[in-house]
Amino acid sequence: MYEKQIEQLIILQQVDDEILVLQDEIAKAPLELSDLEAQMSEFDERRIQIDERMEILKGQKKKLVVEIEEDAGKIKKSKNKLMMVGNTKEYHAMMREMDSLEKLNRMREDEQTAVNEELVRQDDATQSLNEEMSGVKEQYATLKTTLDERLEEAQKRLDSLTRKRKKACKVVPPPILGRYEFIRERMENPVIVPVTEAVCHGCHIMIPPQIFNELQKGQQILSCPNCQRLIYWQQGSLAGSGDE
């Protein structure tokens, strides 16, 4: 019965170690997506900025088209009136007005050209952004699928280990199991270690002869007086167990 309890404690320790690894993997797995999620969030912000810029430019273009057409109409009317002026003074006044309108229209046409060029640049930026987003979204989808599969496998293994743990716990007496849990919460692994040649494999310190003699009898589960870990005498079928 003693050896069976020791054996189950060793199994329990191995199970708990693997459970910790799986729980850590499950907890950290979503972080693998965080960089790609951050990139996609940045893309969204850039798209909003481009869209806002495009709206402003389209508004400017529309306004310039209207203004240029209006001024072109005014210039045409002024040319028609120019033929009907009665004196030189009126003629020069009309010419100055037309020159001013034509100059203003040339400035608007230059501005219109600049706006059109900027619209092309923003279109190019949108296309480039779409290509970047497509690549990152593809990476994200692939990684998420792989990650979901890994998490599903990890969860299945975790469920299996949990069942195995419950089975091992049934064999170990509650007082011993309580000591195991107490030590595990407060110390670094391992919790249960072998003793060979009177040396504890947990702290690597020699245990007192009296305790070593009691340990060799194999009648009760003892603790190392130095590190408080659960100890067993390494022999027979237990040789090598837990000594990792």
Residues 97 and 186 reside in one and the same domain: no
Strands (E), the chain: 192-196, 199-200, 222-223, 230-233
Q: Classify residue 6: in a domain, yes or no.
A: no
pLDDT category at 229 given cuts 50, 70, 90 is: very high
pLDDT category at 235 given cuts 50, 70, 90 is: low
Which of 119, 143, 170 finishes a domain? 170
Q: Determine the average pLDDT of the residues in 75-97.
A: 79
Residues 151 and 184 reside in one and the same domain: no
pLDDT at res. 236: 46
Residues 41 and 162 reside in one and the same domain: yes
Residues 127 and 206 reside in one and the same domain: no
Contact 54, 46 (CB under 8 A): no
pTM: 0.56
**Per-residue pLDDT tens digits for 15-25:** 999 998 998 88
Q: d(Cα 1, Cα 8) in Å, to the nearest integer?
A: 11
> Higher pLDDT residue, 80 or 9?
9
The angle at the Cα of 202, spanning 196 to 207, to the nearest 5 degrees, equals 55
Q: Which amino acid is at 164?
A: K
Residues 209 and 137 reside in one and the same domain: no
Residues 166 and 186 reside in one and the same domain: no
Q: Classify residue 2: in a domain, yes or no.
A: no
Number of domains in the chain: 2
> Which residue segment(s) compose the domain that 215 sits in?
173-238
pLDDT at res. 244: 36
Among all chains, which residue has been given the structure tokens 């022999």?
235
pLDDT exceeds 50 at position 241:
no
Residues 199 and 88 reside in one and the same domain: no
